[in-house]
């Protein structure tokens, strides 16, 4: 996504933080010269707009990074799992419909166990499509819905990734 979109989403989140009365707690992670230090090897030192630690009551937390993931002026929303061991989603694509923008993410498992076709089939059957669209907040009032949709994406992805542990394929 273009830098302006990353900045806009980040600013809506920061404004929302001032008046937050919800199931979410969010904390901005400090950056040094617009980079993260001592966060995670793939993110450290890359240009970043902002980073947040997002917690939902009685659920796992995530880290949201608005980052130039490949250092090519193309910003991503990268979502790290709570222990920072991996990403739950790396979202860079935008879609515009009637002047409203959404982030677009596609489920594409890359596990090395030969079961990715089964994961994709499960994801599509249960969640309707391999592609997920998440409306970008256009005001601070839209941020909570944005967070709920990010949580849903992460939960669905993790469920699909683990499905072969549940069913004997």
pLDDT in single tens digits along all 169 residues of the chain: 999 999 999 999 999 998 877 889 999 999 999 999 999 999 999 999 999 999 998 899 999 999 999 999 999 999 999 999 999 999 999 999 889 999 999 999 999 999 999 999 999 998 899 999 999 999 999 999 999 999 999 999 999 999 877 665 5
Residue 23, pLDDT score: 87
CA 27/CA 63 separation, integer angstroms: 10
Q: Where are the domains of the chain?
A: 3-166
Residue 57, pLDDT score: 87
Residue 29, pLDDT score: 97
Residue 163, pLDDT score: 85
CA 51/CA 69 separation, integer angstroms: 13
Q: Report residue 14 CA to chain centroid gap.
A: 16
Predicted TM-score of the model (pTM): 0.92
Long-range CB contacts for residues 90-94, cutoff 8 Å, separation at least 24:
91/1, 91/134, 92/1, 93/1, 94/1, 94/2, 94/5, 94/136
Which residues have a Cβ under 8 Å from the Cβ of 7 and sit 6 or more positions away? 49, 66
CA 155/CA 88 separation, integer angstroms: 9
Measured N-to-C along each axis, helices 143-161 and 3-18 cross at an angle, to the nearest 10 degrees, of: 110
Distances in Å between the alpha carbon of 158 and those of 12, 14, 36, 162, 164? 27, 27, 26, 6, 11
Residue 164, pLDDT score: 78
Residue 168, pLDDT score: 59
């Amino acid at each position: 996504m273009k830098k302006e979109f990353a900045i806009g989403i980040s600013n809506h989140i920061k404004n929302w933080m001032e008046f937050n009365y919800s199931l979410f707690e969010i904390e901005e992670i400090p950056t040094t010269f617009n980079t993260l230090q001592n966060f995670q090897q793939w993110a450290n030192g890359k240009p970043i707009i902002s980073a947040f630690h997002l917690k939902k009551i009685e659920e796992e937390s995530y880290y949201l990074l608005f980052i130039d993931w490949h250092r090519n002026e193309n910003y991503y929303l990268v979502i790290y799992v709570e222990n920072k061991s991996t990403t739950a989603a790396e979202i860079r694509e935008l879609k515009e419909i009637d002047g409203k923008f959404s982030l677009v993410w596609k489920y594409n498992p890359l596990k090395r166990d030969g079961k990715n076709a089964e994961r994709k089939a499960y994801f599509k059957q249960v969640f309707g499509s391999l592609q997920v669209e998440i409306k970008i907040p256009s005001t601070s009032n839209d941020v909570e819905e944005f967070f709920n949709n990010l949580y849903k994406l992460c939960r669905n992805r993790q469920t699909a990734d683990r499905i072969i542990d549940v069913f004997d394929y």
